[in-house]
Structure 1
């Protein structure tokens, strides 16, 4: 976020120095390279300064602030996973009272965990697995039999 503010400061400076929008864009792209904001954003900020805006800070956004991934929730998920690594995302959802998507976001983004429960215990209905993969057992059967027959031929 700080880099965006720096770029807005540069746009404002170029505007105050009398540089054109095109020249400002060229200078920022040269200075910030891959980290540079889009041309449309630069044009928008240039237009704002031209219309009299003084602040380089973003305007406050409306809507609900993000509360799901609060530090308290991240800590609760971390402790629960440390106690039992075999918990699934749904079990964490039920246990902690946090939505499944928020639990998933905390695990992957905040904690860097890609798999919570890699072991599957109990009997598995294979049709459920195929449904989750977006295919049916009938669709997968020819592929499975082809692999087996080709494996026998190669031996």
Structure 2
């Protein structure tokens, strides 16, 4: 079981309010959630933010370009193209859809749940 980033921040906040140091808090997290424990630097950074008055547990919104290539409409178009020609390649699909090869891969494998077998796209089991 993984512990969410917000859960780790909340735990860090409560333990910090009780007077625990960053190293102690991280050791406690490591004992219970070794796979999802943040680094000591991250725990320390969170504590510095809490001390400065930032009590937000969620990540700040990050500016940047939103994902525009992997959309519902693009997934439907990809499905139509594959239904018409099940031997279509990812390279060709990316060119027809006007998206990167990686986005075409995500659409086919993650959103449509298909895999290539004997030169045809078939549902993953």
Partner of 1:51: 52
Shift of the 80–37 alpha-carbon distance from structure 1 to 2, 3 Å rule, reads farther
Tell me how far 1:30 sits from its aligned partner. 1.7
* Unpaired segments ≥5 residues, structure 2: 121-125
Offset at residue 56 of structure 1 (A): 0.7
Gap change, CA 1:49 and 1:72, over 3 Å in 2 = same
RMSD: 2.5
Seen in structure 2, the aligned counterparts of structure 1 residues 87 and 112 have a Cα distance that, compared at 3 Å, is same
Q: Is this contact kept in 1: 2:82–2:88, CA < 8 A?
A: yes
* Aligned residue-pair number: 119
State the partner residue of 1:22. Answer: 23
Q: Deviations over 1:63-122 (max 9, x none)?
A: 111222122222322332233210112321233233333212322333344437727xxx
Contact 2:16–2:47 at 8 Å: present in 1 too? yes
Between Structure 1 and Structure 2, which shows a larger proportion of strand residues? 2
Cα distance change on mapping 1:117 and 1:40 into 2, 3 Å: farther
Q: Which TM-score applies when normalising by structure 1?
A: 0.64
Structure (1 or 2) with the larger CA radius of gyration: 1
Q: Which has the higher helix share?
A: 1
Indicate if the aligned counterparts of 2:23 and 2:40 stay in contact, CA closer than 8 A. no
- Residues 39, 108 of structure 1: alpha-carbon distance in 2 compared, 3 angstrom cutoff: farther
Distance across 1 between alignment mates of 2:20 and 2:59 = 23
SS of the aligned residue for 1:34 comes to: coil
TM-score normalized by structure 2? 0.77
Using the alignment, how far apart are the partners of 2:57 and 2:110 within structure 1?
29
